[in-house]
């Protein structure tokens, strides 16, 4: 399967977007080669702003440009965007509902060798907790491009979570992405596997293994973490009676928490969460880290067995 | 409303704005008089002499923008906007009350004439840089004005923004530093001195003017000079008195964030009659 990092897809999508929408501007904080906003800079140098290593100012300037009619895409690593500049996002972007798209790359453990200081594992939690914020976690290059266009068309702030490592292309051009809509990729009745980002592919593989073992698993791509698609989640809970979530993020505050919130209020069923178990990461190859921190096909498969066992009746 | 060119009329307007500030704060029972009063002449000059704004069309794309970096001085902004005709003087009495548009710190989504929501010190500076950058990109001739506190400039983000404004040669951005010498915990010099501020902003690539921030003539002249400076943003360091115009509030750190009681308000209004 062809592999492309979602940050690469982001860079290419920005160029296409820039051609269609003259009001799009792109800002970066000395990481344009890594975040791939460099692609946009090459084609539209007059619409690209490098603020230097100054993330608070990055988000603040983006807010000011948005207040003056621009659609501002601001990029840096996810750790710095949502950590260093959290309060700028809160007060200058979310509270004001300005048209800033925070496209943060290098999210999750698959940053790899740079280690824990650079691996964002709470970004989904903090962005999801902000009123007015839309949170999107694309699973592959195709979905990334569609999400970039959807984010630009959406009026208001968006957090777009992108990765460093190449990931398989799962979807073709016919794939439909809509903000707020989870997509059932595979039907099943015994258990539902809900995933986002790079874990969608792992969930698909786990479903195949489970099928060989006689278990029918539904796979749902919850690429919009907020607003979350309650309908699709409740339906899965009612029809399968057991859910597993999988995310490249701390199990506190991310997809697992969001799904738990929906089901406890609407259709309580057992849930198992696959994710980083409330610990920081470390240096290593992406695959080694996913293995060590329990984010593999095997972990999802085991969680499925565990949750099915917990079903009543 | 017509722009005011006559100094005497500006002085009358400033006195009215000060009365509004005292009245609204007394009614609210909380809020920030000191830093509101120190900036009255600056806002009066901006809104009644300098800036191109249209109260009937607050989102007019060609308008000049004003960002109140020191958002806690919301009363001076609201009092000025009301006098300019963005909303009624009566509405000032809803300050800080439930369901009011006049939040404790300015909210651009609620209040006509407020160009940026502020309150978290340092953030307004970056927003003003973004507005000035967008103006340059779109080849528009609107100007962006910013008001900073002298305590506010202790924030790291201020210096990130100052660097960026000079780097991008934003001569359409003019900032005022309300150099009143006080912050919450006492004299700025004692808490954490940012001095020498003139040298610092010069070193950051700004054109710097130093004025008496209560002199209309000096504010006007500095604004005129700012418009002639090409390739650089201008910082106008305005020497001011915190609490200006109310004898018992002047130069008192305690009046940073305390509203006058009824009798105190009455005395203040008498002084401002
Ligand atoms: C980021 C941030 N930190 C702290 C505060 C609380 N605060 C409000 S006003 C103030 C002092 C401001 O002093 P200065 O900038 O000198 O304002 P002025 O004297 O003009 O009122 C502080 C610390 C805040 N609003 N924002
Ligand atoms: Mg001060």
If pLDDT is split at 50, 70 and 90, which confidence band does B242 have? very high
Helix (H, G, I), strand (E, B), or coil: what is residue A276?
strand
- A287 included as an active-site residue: no
- CATH number for the domain including B57? 3.40.50.970
| Cα–Cα distance, A201 to A307 (Å, whole number) | 20
Helix (H) or strand (E) holding A27: strand A24-28
| Cα–Cα distance, A184 to A167 (Å, whole number) | 20
B240 touches chain A (CB under 8 A): no
B104 is a domain residue: yes
A235 token code pair: 């339906």
Q: pLDDT tens-digit profile of B106-149? A: 999 999 999 999 999 999 999 999 999 999 999 999 999 999 99
Can the peptide bond before residue B105 be classed as cis, meaning omega within 30 degrees of 0? no
**What's residue A1's pLDDT?**
79
B181 is a domain residue: yes
Query: Cβ(B14) to ligand 1 under 6 A?
Result: no
> How close B2 comes to chain A (CA, Å)?
25
| Cα–Cα distance, A147 to B8 (Å, whole number) | 58
Whole-structure pTM value? 0.94
| Cα–Cα distance, A85 to A77 (Å, whole number) | 11
A183-312 has CATH 3.40.50.920 classification = yes
Going A82 to A88 to A91 to A92, the CA torsion angle's sign is negative
Helices marked H in B193-261 — which ranges?
197-203, 216-228
**What's residue B20's pLDDT?**
98
All CATH 3.40.50.920 domain ranges in chain A, comma separated: 183-312
Contact B142, B173 (CB under 8 A): no
Chain B: residue whose CA lies nearest to A62: B130
Domain of B125?
A: 7-271
A3-168 fold: Rossmann fold (3.40.50)
**What's residue A7's pLDDT?**
98
Q: pLDDT tens-digit profile of B37-71? A: 999 999 999 999 999 999 999 999 999 999 999 99
All CATH 3.40.50.970 domain ranges in chain A, comma separated: 3-168
Residue numbers of A between 55 and 84 with CB closer than 8 Å to B: 56-57, 59-70, 72
Other beta carbons within 10 Å of B239: 17
Residue B163 has pLDDT above 60, yes or no: yes
Q: Structurally, how many domains does chain B consist of?
A: 1
> How close B95 comes to chain A (CA, Å)?
19
B2 is a domain residue: no
If pLDDT is split at 50, 70 and 90, which confidence band does B1 have? low
Mean pLDDT of residues grouped by 10 in chain A (313 residues)?
95 98 98 97 97 97 98 98 98 98 98 95 98 98 98 98 97 97 98 98 98 98 98 98 98 98 98 98 96 98 98 77
Contact A194, A220 (CB under 8 A): yes
B1 is a domain residue: no
Looking at A55, A143, A202, A247, which residue is catalytic? A55
B163 is a domain residue: yes
Contact B161 A61 (CB under 8 A): yes
Angle (CA) B207 B39 A57, round 5°? 55
If pLDDT is split at 50, 70 and 90, which confidence band does B2 have? low
Locate the DSSP E strands across A80-172: 100-104, 134-136, 158-161, 166-168
**What's residue A313's pLDDT?**
62
**What's residue B4's pLDDT?**
82
**What's residue A131's pLDDT?**
98
**What's residue A155's pLDDT?**
98
DSSP assignment of A205-241: HHHHHHHHTT--EEEEE--EEES--HHHHHHHHHHHS
**What's residue B236's pLDDT?**
98
């Amino acid at each position: 399967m062809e592999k492309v990092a979602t940050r690469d897809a982001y860079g290419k999508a920005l160029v296409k977007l820039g051609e269609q929408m003259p009001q799009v501007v792109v800002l970066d904080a000395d990481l344009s080669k890594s975040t791939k906003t460099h692609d946009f800079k090459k084609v539209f140098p007059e619409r690209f702003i490098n603020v230097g290593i100054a993330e608070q100012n990055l988000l603040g300037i983006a807010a000011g440009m948005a207040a003056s009619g621009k659609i501002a895409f601001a990029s840096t690593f996810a750790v710095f965007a949502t950590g260093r500049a959290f309060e700028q996002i809160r007060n200058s972007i979310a509270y004001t509902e300005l048209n800033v798209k925070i496209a943060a790359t290098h999210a999750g453990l698959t940053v790899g060798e740079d280690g824990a200081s650079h691996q964002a594992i709470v970004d989904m939690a903090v962005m999801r907790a902000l009123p007015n914020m839309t949170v999107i976690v694309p699973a592959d290059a195709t979905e990334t491009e569609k999400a970039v266009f959807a984010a630009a068309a959406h009026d208001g702030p968006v957090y777009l979570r992108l990765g460093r490592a190449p990931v398989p292309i799962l979807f073709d051009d016919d794939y439909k992405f809509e903000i707020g809509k989870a997509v059932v990729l595979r039907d099943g009745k015994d258990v539902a596997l809900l995933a986002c980002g790079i874990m969608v592919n792992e969930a698909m593989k786990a479903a195949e293994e489970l099928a060989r073992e006689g278990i029918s698993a539904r796979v749902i791509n919850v690429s919009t973490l907020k607003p979350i698609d309650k309908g699709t989640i409740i339906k899965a809970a009612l029809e399968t009676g057991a859910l597993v979530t999988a995310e490249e993020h701390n199990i506190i505050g991310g997809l697992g928490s969001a799904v738990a919130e929906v089901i406890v209020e609407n259709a309580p069923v057992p849930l198992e969460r696959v994710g980083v178990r409330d610990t920081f990461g470390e240096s290593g190859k992406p695959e080694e880290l996913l293995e060590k921190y329990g984010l593999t096909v095997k972990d999802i498969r085991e969680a499925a067995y565990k949750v099915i066992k917990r079903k009543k009746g | 409303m017509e722009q005011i060119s006559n100094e005497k009329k500006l002085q009358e307007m400033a006195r009215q704005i000060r009365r509004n500030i005292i009245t609204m704060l007394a009614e609210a029972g909380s809020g920030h008089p000191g830093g509101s009063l120190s900036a009255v002449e600056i806002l009066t000059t901006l809104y009644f002499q300098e800036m191109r704004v249209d109260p009937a069309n607050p989102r007019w794309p060609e308008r000049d923008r004003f960002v109140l970096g020191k958002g806690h001085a919301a009363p001076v902004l609201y009092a000025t906007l009301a006098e300019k005709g963005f909303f009624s003087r009566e509405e000032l009495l809803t300050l800080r009350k439930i369901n009011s548009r006049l939040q404790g710190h300015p909210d651009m989504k609620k209040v006509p004439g407020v160009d940026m929501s502020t309150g978290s010190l340092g953030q307004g500076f970056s927003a003003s840089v973004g507005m000035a950058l967008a103006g340059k990109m779109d080849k528009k001739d609107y100007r962006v004005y910013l008001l900073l506190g002298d305590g506010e400039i202790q924030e790291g983000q201020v210096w990130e923004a100052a660097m960026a404004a000079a780097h991008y040669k934003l001569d359409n951005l003019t900032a005022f530093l309300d150099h009143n010498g006080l912050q919450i915990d006492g004299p700025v010099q004692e808490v954490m001195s940012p001095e020498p501020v003139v040298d610092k902003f010069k070193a950051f690539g700004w054109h710097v003017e130093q004025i008496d921030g209560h002199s209309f003539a000096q504010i006007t002249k500095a604004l005129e000079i700012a418009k002639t400076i090409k390739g650089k943003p201008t910082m106008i360091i305005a020497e001011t008195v915190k609490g200006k115009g109310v004898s018992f509030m002047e130069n008192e750190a305690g009046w940073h964030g305390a509203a006058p009681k009824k009798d105190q308000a009455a005395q203040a209004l008498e002084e401002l009659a």
